A and B are shown apart, each in its own frame.
Chain A
Amino acid sequence: MAIELDDTGAVVIVGSGAGGGTLAGELCARGVRVVLLEAGPRIPSSEFRNDEAFAFQQLSWRDPRQATGTWATARLSPDTPAWMVKAVGGSTLHWNGLSYRIQPREFRARTEYGAIDDANLADWPLSAEELDPYYSAAEKRLGVTGTHGIPAHPPNNNFRVLAAGARRIGYRQVANDRQAINSEPRDGRPACLQLGFCNQGCRIDAKWTAANSEVPRAERTGRLDLRPGAMALTITVNEKGRVDGVIYSDSEGRRQRQRARVVCVAGNAIETPRVLLNSATAAWPDGLANSSGQVGRNYMHHVAALAFAVFERPVHMHRGITVPGTVFDESGHDPARGFAGGYLMEAAAAGPAFLSALIDPGGWGPDFAALMERYDHMAGVLLNGEDLPREDNRVSLHSSAKDQHGLPIPVVHVDEHTNDVAMREHFFRQVRRLYEAVGAVDVRDPLPLSSAHNLGTCRMSAKSGDGVVNRFGQTHDIDNLFVSDGSQFTTSSSENPTLTIVALALRQAEYLAGELGRRNL
């Protein structure tokens, strides 16, 4: 459906990923007309390729950015603080489909962990019980294995090594379900064929993405106007202090202004605060909806690293689902380990080229070549741990560098907390024990990774001074401006974030449609 630029009745959503795509799907189903602005193109799944370099060029967000601070990313990939997608469907084209709920106690991080020096911890203004029905709806929508009677996938080699090692050292919570990847045909999409290229856009659409599920769902209602190639630049405000439109650069590079009744920003937690900061006016000198000063702050990305082990006999980790299952035993809060919060250990694979960069950075010569020849004897595991919010870990605008639209590029600054470092070291020790218990002959400590999870930069808070949005993702400052992605997270938790992003979007859609119906917006 075409919605006119001067139509003042529609909801305008910025970004078509996990948050924005789901919000569009659910709002349209509830009878609301939606303009969906997406900076990237619409790419049919038939154009995805089992080729990581090609996929990176085809899918990834490559506009200029800068990483600063003490995190390894600032040193190793200063131009790429994070890995995300610029296309219809957003980073769900890259994602692995792990769909875990945040644990109830993790919603109360400040209360549970107590005050921690140099951290800006807070409790969510929302409980697990309140989110429970939306989690359940999200699991059904994504077809998450192990929920709603959907069977788990058969475990692949890489997971089986992790699981066996875990049990040998006494871990008990080991599971390969909770994946938004079809284990049987569902929702018009086929079952997984274990291609092993989940991050390159699932070629057969066995994996749920906002592009193969949410956008089509919205389109079927006839209420969606999807605009690929439309990069939102700023949000405009009227004399009453309400937002009334979005200025964007369209697919031809022309400036346009779409009028709006409500604006929802879901550009992923680097671009979302950037749009708000770029929308500063005389009335909002520090950025739109930023009376708290918290827009862009409390950036979190999970403590992440990838470790590999070599075995005497073959593993073939590259065969099948890229991230096939997880050990949960370290996901609790146990200060005796020397850090607050917990972490997950997720089996994960990589191809030889990436491995050559990561397994022994700087290594070369006969020993290194011999190590690489053991590629098919290796297993891998990813660390996904809770990182602490810090006010000065933040997304801000560069003082001089501009992007192709003439807007300041985002700078992502992270100084690691000692908690993050202690957690990573604990993970390395446990990984070594785990893999050695099933006969690893060589376990390598890896480098940390660029961020795949961006969180917290417009966080939810009970009080308006502590964060940017309320329990529904509505900004404290402006009634008809919402944040609809991982920027809302008050804390990162140890779980991968997307199921929660989807659950929050479903809850926000219900609230928003209700408020529109009651003429409160």
Chain B
Amino acid sequence: MTRRARRRAFLRWLAATGLTLPALPALHAFADNHAAPTDLDVFLAALLQQLFPHPALDAAVYGQGGQILAGAADADPGLRGLIVAGWAALDAAGDGPWLDRSPGARRAVLEASVDTPFFQVVRGLGGLIFYSLPEVWALVGYQGPSFEKGGYLARGFDDIDWLPEPEHGD
């Protein structure tokens, strides 16, 4: 599959899950790591940082997330239109471009926009994308695919040590 076709398949998947199904995108497959970041990439990275601020994470991780989200927008004109219009609205609400403002000022404008479709889409889709990044998995303590490592049978599937043993049901 070409990257474009993969992106399209991914978007169909997202539409189909409607955020209610336990499904995890392997999104790194959509990132074009070698291309220089576009303005949209930069905007979306800053947005992800506002939405999901993890102090321990490198800015590059948000950059990667922004690129993937921008890639999804490239594959879907409707999504792209929504994001671009949302960006313009953030710029219009306040002095100077949203990206040039302080983190606190960026947040204040976002807070006023939580009910817009733009915000809801970047929050939902952005969350799925961002929390699928291997660097983020490592931060939150998720270990991901396990077949290649022989499962969790010998890697702590039952290592919890702060609970009483369950008895078998009666």
Contact = CB atoms under 8 A, between A and B. Distances in A.
Interface string B141-170: 111111110111101111110111111111
Interface string B115-142: 0000010011001111110001101111
Given A53-B26, A77-B17, A83-B21, A160 B158 contact: yes
B163 A160 contact: yes
Interface in B1-56: 9-10, 12-13, 15-27, 50-54
A160 B75 CA distance: 44
B107 interface: yes
Contact of A77 (B18, B130, B142): B18
B105 interface: no
Mostly, the A contact residues are loop
A174 B169 contact: yes
A159 B163 CA distance: 11
Nearest to B48: A364
A363 B113 CA distance: 13
A356 B131 contact: yes
Contacts of A80: 16-18, 20-21
Contact of B140 (A72, A193, A375): A375
Contacts of A352: 24, 131-132, 136-137, 140, 142
B16 A369 contact: no
B114 A362 contact: yes
A406 B51 CA distance: 43
B24 A53 contact: yes
Contacts of B132: 53, 352-353
A176 B110 CA distance: 46
28 contacts: A53-B23, A56-B17, A60-B16, A77-B16, A77-B18, A154-B157, A154-B158, A155-B158, A156-B152, A160-B160, A176-B169, A194-B151, A196-B151, A196-B152, A316-B159, A320-B157, A351-B24, A352-B140, A353-B129, A353-B132, A357-B128, A364-B114, A365-B50, A365-B107, A369-B52, A374-B140, A375-B140, A375-B142
Contacts of A450: 18, 20-21
A247 interface: no
A172 B129 CA distance: 41
Nearest to A351: B24
A196 B146 contact: yes
A364 B150 contact: no
Interface stretch (A44-52, A271-279, A475-483): A44-52
A376 interface: yes
A39 interface: no
Contacts of A157: 156-160
Nearest to A357: B19
A152 interface: yes
Contacts of B136: 352
Given A56-B21, A78-B18, A316-B141, A194 B168 contact: no
Contact of A164 (B120, B131, B163): B163
A174 B166 contact: yes
A167 interface: yes
A357 B158 contact: no
A449 interface: yes
Contacts of A306: 22
A319 B156 contact: yes
A203 B107 CA distance: 44
A79 interface: yes
A313 B161 CA distance: 9
Which of A152, A197, A448: most chain B Cβ within 10 A?
A: A197
B147 A373 contact: no
A57 interface: yes
Contacts of B24: 51-53, 351-354
Interface residues of B, number: 65
A53 B25 contact: yes
B129 to A, nearest CB: 8
Nearest to A67: B18
Contacts, number: 228
Nearest to A451: B20
A373 B155 contact: no
A375 B110 CA distance: 25
Would you list the 4 A-B pairs with minimal beta carbon distance, nearest first?
A77-B18, A376-B141, A175-B169, A193-B151
Interface in A32-64: 49-57, 60, 62
A314 B159 CA distance: 10
Contacts of A366: 53
Contacts of A369: 52-54
Contacts of B168: 152, 175, 177
Contacts of A314: 141, 160
Interface string A298-328: 0000000010000001111011100000001
A194 B51 contact: no
Given A352-B131, A364-B52, A365-B51, A316 B156 contact: yes
A332 to B, nearest CB: 14
Contacts of A73: 18, 20
A448 B19 CA distance: 11
Contacts of B127: 353, 356-357
B53 A49 contact: no
Given A56-B23, A352-B136, A372-B131, A62 B158 contact: no
Contacts of B50: 364-365
Contact of A163 (B52, B143, B166): B166
Nearest to B26: A51
B143 A173 contact: no
A144 interface: no
Given A56-B23, A351-B22, A356-B131, A318 B143 contact: yes
B152 to A, nearest CB: 4
B116 to A, nearest CB: 12
Given A154-B157, A352-B142, 12 more contacts: A52-B25, A53-B25, A56-B16, A62-B12, A80-B18, A163-B166, A167-B166, A174-B166, A204-B147, A306-B22, A354-B22, A374-B140
Contact of A368 (B52, B146, B151, B157): B52
Interface in B82-127: 107, 110, 114, 120, 123-124, 127
A160 B123 contact: no
Contacts of B25: 52-53, 353
